[in-house]
Amino acid sequence: MALTFLLIDDDEIERLKFARVLQKNNYSHKLIEAKNGEEAIQYLENAEELPNLVFLDLNMPKMNGIEFLKNLKSNSRLKHIPSIILSTSNNHNDLKESYEIGIAGYIVKPLKYEDYVQKIKCLIDYWAVNELINK
């Protein structure tokens, strides 16, 4: 089944990387991109169809990942969407705060592209076998 992902990252190359993983591995999942939390919220509020998963960077301009997460979790229409952090660091405070607010996963972006591909494939395959809410 084709899923819909919302990827929120201010770094264009990161967005390209994610898209490339989907494309190169012939995944049929749909990818929606947003440059920051604000843009993502705007999209979600107006979207007729909600994404199945959110992939989220933490350090972003305007509205950062944590702020977006809080926003999402306080919105009854959106709070069910599993969100997975794609972060640069495994900083303890970030981890703790994210899990406390409510996340479905926390991935540290590796340096090497091959490692990245590996991780994202794992992640997508995992979620593909899960039952998700479609709204």
Interaction site with another protein (CB under 8 A): 11, 13-14, 16-17, 20, 59, 88-89, 91, 109-114, 116
Q: Which is nearer to another protein, 19 or 122 (CB)?
A: 19
User: What's the closest the beta carbon of residue 82 comes to another protein, in angstroms?
Assistant: 24
Q: Which is nearer to another protein, 89 or 130 (CB)?
A: 89
Whether the Cβ atoms of residue 81 and residue 51 lie closer than 8 Å to each other? yes
How many Å apart are CA 57 and CA 60, to the nearest integer? 7
User: What's the closest the beta carbon of residue 80 comes to another protein, in angstroms?
Assistant: 30
**Is 37 exposed, middle or buried (CB count within 10 Å of its CB: 0-12, 13-18, 19+)?**
buried
User: What's the closest the beta carbon of residue 32 comes to another protein, in angstroms?
Assistant: 21
Q: Write the DSSP string, 75-108.
A: -TTTTTS-EEEEES---HHHHHHHHHH--SEEEE
User: What's the closest the beta carbon of residue 129 comes to another protein, in angstroms?
Assistant: 27
Q: Which is nearer to another protein, 4 or 11 (CB)?
A: 11
**Is 104 exposed, middle or buried (CB count within 10 Å of its CB: 0-12, 13-18, 19+)?**
middle
Q: Which is nearer to another protein, 17 or 53 (CB)?
A: 17
